[in-house]
Amino acid sequence: MRRKIEIKLINDKSKRYTTFTKRRKGLMKKAEEFCQISDSKAVFISFSGAGNCYCLGHPDVDTVLDCYLGGSSSTKEEEAPTEAERRIGDAVESGRWKEAVRGLGLDKLDQLHAELENITRRVSLAAESVNR
Amino acid sequence: MRRKIEIKLINDKSKRYTTFTKRRKGLMKKAEEFCQISDSKAVFISFSGAGNCYCLGHPDVDTVLDCYLGGSSSTKEEEAPTEAERRIGDAVESGRWKEAVRGLGLDKLDQLHAELENITRRVSLAAESVNR
DNA sequence: ATGGCTATTTATAACTC
DNA sequence: TGAGTTATAAATAGCCA
């Protein structure tokens, strides 16, 4: 069935798009795992032939691009939250995030589940290391 | 020999670095193949813990970054999510929610910790009850 | 297009030197 | 450390519903 293929441009348009989609999904999954497992700053951005943009970044796209482009904002501290940070912070404080979670699909929930276990562990560790 | 592993931060530093190197190589190989086979504009950039930068781009890094930075509003997902889904989905994908969490006080963290255990349990239960 | 389904290929975790 | 080895897990090319 499956055969080894040569890595060169696929000429057939529909086959190329199918492969683009399948491989992009695999690549982004691997990139996410890579970030979670090694805590590396990383970014992946891809444009389809139709011009659609697919991207992911850890801790986020802009932070990694800042590092790459030489920006000084590479070291994020607790000062000056971005719009996104403020938004999430508000959501956490108000409890509205619970509403949002209800709307997520299974794949997003899986992803969130994994992240939650990570952050739960991290929060526990951080809490233990604090004098109180 | 090889066993299935859970995707979470590897705590052991040397093991983490080994995995970082191996997975980064695999990822970059796949990214190159992806670009060659589908002629997608794509870029991958990663920073090691030591700050070393590894990157690749097709047709080249700067071209893709120009598309991303100057380009139109990026469609991160192909579906049409609700505002809530988009907000949380974006936060999960980018990892920015982790930044927001860092700004919370101890009492808020305690509260969040409890909520996380709840939602984690709920997600597990929901996942188990779904046919897949 | 979209989403499975294998038969294979490919990536890689654990191990060794 | 870094560079192989190998047994296993994961990705995916070609099909088809």
For chain A, domain boundaries = 13-131
Average pLDDT, integer, range A84-113: 60
Q: How far apart are CA B44 and CA A43, in angstroms?
A: 6
Q: Answer yes or no: is B48 CB < 7 A from strand C.
A: no
Q: Which residues of B touch A92 (CB under 8 A)?
A: 100-101, 104, 108, 112
Contact yes or no for B88 and A100 at CB 8 A: yes
pTM exceeds 0.75 for this model: no
Q: Each residue of B30-64: pLDDT tens digit? A: 999 999 999 999 999 999 988 899 999 999 998 99
Torsion B76-B82-B84-B85 (CA) sign: negative
3-class DSSP state of A50: coil
pLDDT at B132 over 50: no
Q: Which nucleotide is nearest to B26 (CA to C1')?
A: C11
A70 falls in which pLDDT band (50, 70, 90)?
A: confident
Of residues B86 and B104, which shows the higher confidence score? Answer: B104
Q: How far is CA B20 from CA A36, A38, B45, in A?
A: 10, 6, 13
What pLDDT shows up at residue B84?
45
B13-131: CATH topology: SRF-like (3.40.1810)
What pLDDT shows up at residue B69?
86
Q: Which nucleotide is nearest to A18 (CA to C1')?
A: C1
Indicate which of B18, B25, B44, B46 best probes the interface with A, i.e. most A CBs within 10 Å of its own CB. B46
pLDDT at A75 over 60: no
What pLDDT shows up at residue A66?
87
Of residues A15 and B85, which shows the higher confidence score? Answer: A15
Average pLDDT taken over every residue of chain B: 75
B70 falls in which pLDDT band (50, 70, 90)?
A: confident
Of residues A76 and B21, which shows the higher confidence score? Answer: B21
Q: Answer yes or no: is A30 CB < 7 A from strand D.
A: yes
pLDDT at B122 over 60: no
| Secondary structure (H, E, C), chain B | CCCCCCCCCCCCHHHHHHHHHHHHHHHHHHHHHHHHHHCCEEEEEEECCCCCEEEEEECCHHHHHHHHHHCCCCCCCCCCCCHHHHHHHHHHHHCHHHHHHHCCCHHHHHHHHHHHHHHHHHHHHHHHCCCC
Distance CA A28 to C1' C6 in A: 23
Q: How far apart are CA B61 and CA B42, in angstroms?
A: 8
Average pLDDT, integer, range B111-115: 64
Average pLDDT, integer, range A81-95: 54
pLDDT at A19 over 80: yes
pLDDT at B79 over 50: no
